[in-house]
Amino acid sequence: MNDKKERLKEILERLNNDEDIAGVKEEARKLIDEISAKDLSEAEQALINEGLEETKLRHLCAAHLEVMADELDELQRDLEYSHPLAVLIREHDEILDTLNRLEIAVNKIDKLDEYDPNNKIFEELKDVGEILLETEKHHEREEEALFPEVDEKGITGPTRIMRMEHDDLWPYKEEIAELSNDVSEMDFEEFKRQIKELSEHLILTLRDHIYKENNILYPTAKDVVDEDKWEGIKKLSDEIGYCSFTTLEEKGEK
């Protein structure tokens, strides 16, 4: 592991220096292909412990995801339907669908010349805005039920990055929801400018965030969290609560 950690460190430094990005990423892919999500997270954690800024670890994510695309399917097959990770993954699917709806709605609105209260696209935007606010329950369960158990194993880097991104994402969700309710009172061109700018950032950032959790954090959690801890994680998750779109049982009950 020490050898792999040193190779990871070298790759990070080269990525941060913009040295032959394509070539360095190919080296990163080959290295990541040799180690598990758990090993990678432990190596990243060791670099953090040595003083590496957590944000610099994001450089590895693209290369990591390219070689671990099949791991999510394998993870889902290994989990019971009601397992906390399985629930979180399904919620991610719903959130990604909501982002697709947001993208379509904003593109349609951008082509309009004026606000029309009878145009159903504005109701669609309101619905999407409400769902985006609901996703905070998803993040809350991650931060309060799942992440502490991963941290307990000494792997705090990935969870700190995800917490940081949760904090970054919230204002965008809130502003999009507020805009969807204020459109009738705003200059329409200004509304279009703001909703497009906010949505483009949220869609790009949240999609990337979800892929990192699905392909890096969740497989790591499955590997490192003791089996007897998952019942407690589920109990705490139940106490925190779920989103309206969360499915907890295979027959579709919520």
pLDDT tens-digit readout, 185-235: 999 999 999 999 999 999 999 998 998 899 889 988 998 999 999 999 999
CA–CA dist 239, 235 (Å, integer): 6
Question: Residue 251: is its pLDDT beyond 70?
Answer: no
- Calculate mean pLDDT across residues 49-63: 61
Helical H segments across the chain, by residue range: 2-16, 21-33, 37-49, 61-67, 71-78, 84-110, 121-141, 147-152, 157-182, 188-212, 218-224, 230-240
pLDDT tens-digit readout, 124-151: 999 999 999 999 999 999 999 999 999 9
pLDDT tens-digit readout, 23-37: 766 776 677 666 666
The pLDDT assigned to 216 comes to 83
Query: Which range among 58-67, 71-80, 127-136 has the greatest average pLDDT?
Result: 127-136
Helices 71-78, 84-110: axis angle to 10 degrees equals: 130
Architecture of the domain made up of 80-240 = Up-down Bundle (1.20)
The pLDDT assigned to 146 comes to 98
Comparing C-alpha atoms, which of 240, 252, 254 is closest to residue 136?
A: 240
The pLDDT assigned to 238 comes to 97
Average pLDDT of the chain, as a whole number: 85
Please state the pTM of the whole predicted model: 0.77
Comparing C-alpha atoms, which of 100, 125, 86, 133 is closest to residue 246?
A: 86
The pLDDT assigned to 253 comes to 46
Question: Residue 60: is its pLDDT beyond 60?
Answer: no
- Calculate mean pLDDT across residues 48-58: 66
In the chain, domain spans: 2-68, 80-240
